[in-house]
Chains A and B, each alone.
Chain A
């Protein structure tokens, strides 16, 4: 098991390296291929009124004239040991991990990302717990009572859940439960209270986004669980379990569910990893100041460093989630450990 984890860790590190090269490529190499020069890249750092000399000086100072591998090395070095930014009048030290400064408001990117992260983390984790529980539970009951009224209505609801976009369900939910017609039960969105300040208010503010987001995912999980359960319950080892005289409950939960959960955990890890990189639509619909909204704002402003920072963070989450999934896989399925 230990060697298995170490192997997975090495794999994750290699993956992160490759992804970092790709991210760097997207933001620094591709613009060059489409005709951008060191000067045109630098011009975004010095403002529109700068003279030609100022732009050239900035390009040189910011290192855009250096060969690409050197630039990549500097970017990575900034992340690991920090970087010094010479902005003309002086030098500002950006401690590791340094993701640079926003073009727009000149604030360092990392603290902003961490700040937004608490919102996204709260949203994703809360929703994940809700959808995992309700999705899997619904799927199991549906599979065991295939063709029943419960199964049919649950699967119809699930189909709706998968099909309806979050900006529709979100607005419907807000209208029904927040804007006072007909109910005013939950927070109207746009507000966020850190859990450390007031857990009750934290949950109150987030309950509607949680449920809306969870509805979308629970639908997928219910369908996945149902399909997996139907398949598993026809396996030979389920017949063996019943032939041993086990109760139905034990057969279903100990023997059936364990196999069914394997693919679900894979999807779950990837979904949570993706969401941590920013639940863009949910955050926009509910005006939550999360990572997704931060990224969208940065993209709209053509603010390169935050976009790169969020991309890198999102990658990190997905790779990390994958690592966790791999390890959990090894715990669940003994065949994986040796493979």
Chain B
């Protein structure tokens, strides 16, 4: 398990090539619209090595998916302003030519989307779509690619792949579709796999199967994995590190153990408190976070979380006026919060921990 010092964030922009496999430095993605600029990602930084899994957690509209699409370079440069740096295996992506990034997509980095039915083309067979992905990056004959597609379908656990390869997405069940998506994403053996809420659209029983499959395949392919989710159960299952996002910003970044055992940010406390647990009695209420996620056009002043934070009035007004930095204090992992390390420890021990450990 990594120590907290490895989560220090390199905020010197332009500090030369990254030594990590994947590193985001102060990535910002803004969308100018008629209603104002949407600060979808503002900013996010993290590192990820091969074979490791990062969980990005946050509510809807916290900028998780926009971040991942930014890594793949899928934002239209005409309506999205992307700044900062993304280093993938020594290559900087934000400033790279579109065609350079295109050739990395699918080959070096691949993505699994939330809804496998709408993410697969309804008019083409599953095999055709996998073959297309494979042949885009590998100059092989159709027969070879087809064999590879059958092979991949078999590896993700689709029974009788040599027959199902010619089926269309609507002939697959939800779980099989997601397996097919995974097969397609892994067809070119990518070093980085991004899974954007891969289990949200699936049955609970199937969710577990898919998570197992992803863990096995990651070990097999030794790829870096980013899991984007609002389901803390999923990250608990898979992630080595966790980045919590709120209002487009990374607000807490640490190892999975640290985040679950000693979360620092009041928002993370809220997330953990609102997670259903079997070891609690059923009459007990979940503790929801009050309010709704902020508008990314008009973010609240100061700390974006302050309107929903019960500790916001204990920072001498700083929370209302100043945007906190993502820094580590008191030897803990980095957190974007004005509370002092001492305050955080105290509130966590007295208010939060008892509720989380009722059993």
| Residues of chain A having any CB pair with chain B under 8 Å | 235-237, 239-247, 255, 258-259, 332-335
CB distance from B229 to the nearest CB of A (A): 18
A245-B168 in contact given A236-B113, A237-B119 (Cβ < 8 Å): no
CA distance A334 to B124 in the complex (A): 8
Partner of A244, one of B118, B125, B136: B136
Q: Is B137 among interface residues, defined by CB-CB distance under 8 A? A: yes
Interface string of B174-185 (1 = CB under 8 A from A): 000000010010
| 5 intermolecular pairs with C-beta atoms under 8 Å apart | A241-B121, A243-B113, A246-B132, A255-B121, A334-B170
CA distance A247 to B133 in the complex (A): 11
Are the C-beta atoms of A333 and B106 separated by less than 8 Å?
Answer: no
Report how many A-B pairs have Cβ atoms within 8 Å: 68
Are the C-beta atoms of A239 and B119 separated by less than 8 Å?
Answer: yes
A245-B123 in contact given A236-B113, A236-B118, A237-B118 (Cβ < 8 Å): no
Partner of B120, one of A237, A245, A335: A237
A-B pairs, 10 with minimum CB distance: A245-B106, A245-B105, A236-B118, A244-B106, A237-B121, A244-B133, A236-B119, A334-B168, A243-B111, A240-B119
Are the C-beta atoms of B119 and A335 separated by less than 8 Å?
Answer: no
CA distance A334 to B120 in the complex (A): 13
Are the C-beta atoms of B125 and A334 separated by less than 8 Å?
Answer: yes
* List of B residues within 8 angstroms of A237 by Cβ: 118-122
* List of B residues within 8 angstroms of A236 by Cβ: 113, 115, 118-119
* List of B residues within 8 angstroms of A242 by Cβ: 74, 105
Are the C-beta atoms of A246 and B113 separated by less than 8 Å?
Answer: no
Interface residues of B in 99-125 (CB under 8 A from A): 102-107, 110-111, 113, 115, 118-123, 125
* List of A residues within 8 angstroms of B113 by Cβ: 236, 239-240, 243
* List of B residues within 8 angstroms of A255 by Cβ: 121
Which residue in chain B gives the minimum CB-CB distance to A245? B106
Q: Is B72 among interface residues, defined by CB-CB distance under 8 A? A: yes
CA distance A236 to B121 in the complex (A): 8
* List of A residues within 8 angstroms of B106 by Cβ: 243-246
CB distance from A335 to the nearest CB of B (A): 5
CB distance from B8 to the nearest CB of A (A): 31
CA distance A258 to B122 in the complex (A): 10
Are the C-beta atoms of A244 and B123 separated by less than 8 Å?
Answer: no
* List of A residues within 8 angstroms of B115 by Cβ: 236
* List of B residues within 8 angstroms of A258 by Cβ: 121, 123
* List of A residues within 8 angstroms of B118 by Cβ: 235-237
Partner of A243, one of B72, B125, B137, B170: B72
CA distance A328 to B138 in the complex (A): 33
CA distance A65 to B137 in the complex (A): 78
CA distance A244 to B136 in the complex (A): 8
Interface size class of B (residues with CB under 8 A): 20 to 34
Are the C-beta atoms of A335 and B170 separated by less than 8 Å?
Answer: yes
A245-B119 in contact given A236-B113, A239-B113 (Cβ < 8 Å): no
Which residue in chain A gives the minimum CB-CB distance to B137? A245
CA distance A338 to B72 in the complex (A): 36
CA distance A65 to B63 in the complex (A): 81
* List of B residues within 8 angstroms of A246 by Cβ: 102, 106, 132, 136
> Most B CB atoms within 10 A — which of A235, A243, A255?
A243
* List of B residues within 8 angstroms of A235 by Cβ: 118
Are the C-beta atoms of A333 and B123 separated by less than 8 Å?
Answer: yes
Which residue in chain A gives the minimum CB-CB distance to B118? A236
CA distance A259 to B121 in the complex (A): 9
* List of A residues within 8 angstroms of B133 by Cβ: 244-245
Are the C-beta atoms of B120 and A240 separated by less than 8 Å?
Answer: yes
CB distance from B180 to the nearest CB of A (A): 11
* List of A residues within 8 angstroms of B119 by Cβ: 236-237, 239-240
Interface string of B75-112 (1 = CB under 8 A from A): 00000000000000000000000000011111100110
CA distance A236 to B102 in the complex (A): 18
CA distance A334 to B172 in the complex (A): 13
CB distance from A256 to the nearest CB of B (A): 10
Are the C-beta atoms of A332 and B121 separated by less than 8 Å?
Answer: no
A245-B122 in contact given A236-B113, A334-B168 (Cβ < 8 Å): no
Which residue in chain B gives the minimum CB-CB distance to A332? B123
* List of B residues within 8 angstroms of A334 by Cβ: 122-123, 125, 168, 170
Q: A243-B72, A244-B133, A334-B125 are in contact. List 8 more A-B contacts (CB 8 A).
A: A237-B121, A239-B113, A240-B120, A240-B121, A243-B74, A243-B111, A245-B105, A259-B122
* List of A residues within 8 angstroms of B107 by Cβ: 245
CA distance A244 to B118 in the complex (A): 15
CA distance A264 to B181 in the complex (A): 29
A243-B121 in contact given A236-B115, A335-B170 (Cβ < 8 Å): no
CB distance from A312 to the nearest CB of B (A): 36
CA distance A237 to B170 in the complex (A): 14
CA distance A153 to B72 in the complex (A): 35
Are the C-beta atoms of B74 and A239 separated by less than 8 Å?
Answer: yes
A244-B184 in contact given A236-B115, A237-B122, A258-B123 (Cβ < 8 Å): yes
* List of B residues within 8 angstroms of A247 by Cβ: 102
Which residue in chain B gives the minimum CB-CB distance to A259? B123
* List of A residues within 8 angstroms of B110 by Cβ: 243-244
CA distance A240 to B168 in the complex (A): 16
CB distance from A258 to the nearest CB of B (A): 5
CA distance A302 to B107 in the complex (A): 72
CA distance A246 to B122 in the complex (A): 17
* List of A residues within 8 angstroms of B181 by Cβ: 240
CA distance A333 to B124 in the complex (A): 8
CB distance from A222 to the nearest CB of B (A): 22
Interface residues of B in 106-158 (CB under 8 A from A): 106-107, 110-111, 113, 115, 118-123, 125, 132-133, 136-137
* List of B residues within 8 angstroms of A259 by Cβ: 121-123
Which residue in chain B gives the minimum CB-CB distance to A256? B121
Interface residues of B in 222-245 (CB under 8 A from A): none
Are the C-beta atoms of B132 and A244 separated by less than 8 Å?
Answer: yes
CA distance A242 to B119 in the complex (A): 11
